[in-house]
Chain A
Amino acid sequence: MAVNVASEWLNACSGCEISILNTGEALLDLLAQLNFVHIPALVDSKYFGPLGDGTSLQIPEAVVGIVSGGVRNSEHKHVLEEMRKKVKVLIALGSCAAYGGVPAQANMWKPEEVFEKVFRGCVTTNPSPNPEDPNVPPWTPTCQALDEVTKVDITIPGCPPHPDWIADAVMALLAGKTEWKLPERSVCDTCPVIREKKSGGGPIKRMLANAEFNPEEGIDKMRCLNEQGIFCMGPVTLAGCNGKSGVPRCIQARTPCRGCFGPIRKGAKPMVDMMGALTSVGLDPKTLVDRRAIMNRYIGGHGYLTVIPARPAR
């Protein structure tokens, strides 16, 4: 018997959903076991009924609810709460849902400052008042992860999550489990590069030049990027971006990790831990440019990124 699933995207980019579609032919077998009663990306189920004359926002009941994206406005909140009411198991899909994600970098400013820029501070925009209309939901004070608003049962992090884990979590649910979690390992634990526990020192390098490597050789012959002096978040980032096997995705492109899977465990202090990791290979964390934003790029919810009282002039 197929299981009813409802899915929504909130402050999201649709990458999480595309990641599911990239699963390949296994997708069709998985889909056969799921019955999507609501998924705006693919199915025409409407909040106000098929004739648009309902009076309250409705999502059909389902066993599993999958939500991508964080909460950024009153409607996201409303939809999330409605979803929570209608499903037994709520899955937060992706790092926006899990931690606020990239858009939570906006938490470094007050909403007014963001609106000021967007509607009155862009070169091609006719300076105008902020949009205000019953159909344009106002911003919430910050961009939040789902569990800051309601109870979440399962979190599948990643930006986007790897389809292996999405399938794994859904399969676990179908098998009657109610919990699912990625193992607590770091990206470095799954990274095959050569490590010597020391770097050449000097200021931390920006990606103004490429890493050093021989392209004819595998990743296992390349020196660790942190040890090359290039900032890499691997030490404090949850492993899994490569799915069940393979090289961490950014490392595959010979580029450093920026932490898209979030911290290794709940409540971790990735910024503090990362400074420790840099120091341990002989790098000075103070030389890292744009330190706060770069270390919290994907996790700005949960109070990790907040308004700095007075931004120092650069």
Chain B
Amino acid sequence: MGKVINIQPITRIEGHAKVAIHLDDAGNVADTKVHVQALRGFEKFCEGRPVEEMPRTVCHICGICPWAHHLASSKAGDACFGVTPPPAAVKLRRLMQSIAYVSDKILHFYFLAAPDFVIGPDADYSVRNVVGIVQAAPDIARQVVKMRHLGAQILESFAGRAIHPTLSLPGGVSKPMTEAERQQMLPLAQELLEFSKFSMQFAKDNVFPKYLDAIKNIGVIEVGYLGTVTADGALDFYDGKLRLMKPDGSYDDFTYEQYTDYIGEWVEPWSYQKFPYAKQWGQLNLDLDNPTGVYRTNCLARINVADKMATPLAQKELEEFRAAFGRPAHFTLLYHYARLIELLQAAEHAVELLEDPEITSKDIRAELTPKAGRGIGCVEAPRGTLIHDYTCDENGLITKVNLIVGTTHNNAAINLSVNQAAKLCIKEGKYDQGALNKVEMAIRAYDP
């Protein structure tokens, strides 16, 4: 066996991982592995905790998408206690989730992904980053920072904590929104919507055309997709049924309670991260030429499984996207495009919610009585379908937890994409920084 190229740490992603590219004697790629090196053990240390404390504990799984964990956990808690939160509570949860989505997508597009596209994948690493962006496009950078701050301000002024929130609890939320707050927030949300529209246009005019080639070079893998849709098939970030689509576009819809019939998790000795797979499609196989059981999540997956978007501007963009790339669209780098379509839906949804006077209702929490039970709560986290499955005893203390987080679903697909990108970019022992960065770009697309 020839040498091993270690790309570590994988940068401009959130989290700890390394790529090992094993070359054969001729210098061609023999094997690749993405090693996820971190494990914290939430499934264990949540045991014994009161269910109502879970939403403000499990959010610490991820500082980028704490709201997703916070809400999936609240929903699992709703189900454990057997209550339905009042409509205004659901609207407030949705509002917070939408604003957090907007902030997250702006961050990823401009600060983590854009350096590859605006500065260029082959540029020296010292400029291929957010500082490079600030120098190359200072006005946009200032605007991005301002918009992210705006999002954080909306969340903080209402919910106190924007990162690792406490607002949502089983049964609803901890406080109602006043009419004065609604009127303050509406124009801010409208400002976020304007910026989202600008971002979409900016990307279509200046970014996507230039990287259409890169889209093809970094690869296409034909695997399945998982996401959440409403009863009539529209994409929904907060609630609905799960839809698992096969590579050919056919799909199964199922309820949260049925998830164990469709999803299993494989463990490989070389990664702490598990490998979820579609159980009904046979065993998980990570062979690039013939992958089985593999599906993807996150924005491209959602855009593929949804029949339509839930808001008008996003729907218009989806139609344009589908006309160009079909359904399902398989090119990995299309994640970036899909992300911006979702940005629009999230911003439109936030405005919609704030225009609805019912959001200020004072009826925001169902009262809870501890009882034994099981509750499964799902939401679409920015990175994919989030599944929180809790069992509790008669005192409402957790006895068992199963968690499948957004990024984990993509573990198998990321390994495939890295393998593919490495094979495309490294040949006969020849490679440079740019080539290795392109391998990382295959990972960054998933925003793991």
Contact = CB atoms under 8 A, between A and B. Distances in A.
Given A21-B148, A118-B39, A125-B265, A36 B131 contact: yes
A255 B167 contact: yes
Given A51-B436, A254-B174, A11 B38 contact: yes
Interface string B417-441: 0000000000000011100110010
A206 interface: yes
A249 B131 CA distance: 31
B276 to A, nearest CB: 7
Given A42-B12, A136-B35, A103 B40 contact: yes
Contact of B5 (A40, A53, A73, A125): A53
B44 A123 contact: no
Interface stretch (B155-163, B209-217, B231-239, B243-251): B155-163
Interface in B118-175: 125-126, 128-131, 134, 141-142, 145-146, 148-149, 152, 156, 158-167, 169, 171, 174-175
B268 A131 contact: yes
Interface in A253-298: 253-255, 258, 260, 289-290, 293-294, 297
B37 A289 contact: no
A289 B35 CA distance: 39
Interface stretch (A109-117, A178-186, A189-197): A109-117
Contact of A44 (B12, B40, B43): B12
A126 interface: yes
A106 B433 contact: no
| Chain A interface size, under 10 / 10 to 19 / 20 to 34 / 35 or more | 35 or more
Interface residues of B, number: 111
A208 B397 contact: no
A113 B39 CA distance: 14
A209 B260 contact: no
Interface stretch (A24-32, A82-90, A146-154, A169-177): A24-32
Contacts of B39: 72-73, 118, 139
B7 to A, nearest CB: 5
B50 A289 contact: yes
A202 interface: no
B82 to A, nearest CB: 13
Given A28-B134, A48-B8, A124 B60 contact: no
B389 interface: yes
A187 to B, nearest CB: 12
Contact of A124 (B37, B134, B167, B260): B260
Contacts of A210: 174-175, 364-365
A21 B145 CA distance: 8
B312 interface: no
Nearest to A111: B41
B160 A114 contact: no
Contacts of A309: none
Interface of A: 9, 11-19, 21-25, 27-28, 31, 36, 40-48, 50-53, 72-73, 75, 101-103, 105-106, 108-109, 113-115, 117-119, 121-126, 128-129, 131-133, 135-137, 139, 159-160, 206-211, 213, 215-216, 247-255, 258, 260, 289-290, 293-294, 297, 311, 314
17 contacts: A12-B63, A14-B64, A18-B163, A21-B145, A24-B146, A44-B11, A44-B437, A103-B40, A106-B40, A118-B41, A126-B265, A137-B37, A159-B164, A160-B63, A253-B160, A258-B166, A290-B50
Interface of B: 3, 5-12, 14-16, 18, 20-21, 33, 35, 37-45, 47-50, 52-53, 56-57, 60-64, 66, 107, 111-112, 125-126, 128-131, 134, 141-142, 145-146, 148-149, 152, 156, 158-167, 169, 171, 174-176, 178, 259-260, 263-272, 274, 276, 362, 364-365, 367-370, 389, 393, 395-397, 400-404, 431-433, 436-437, 440
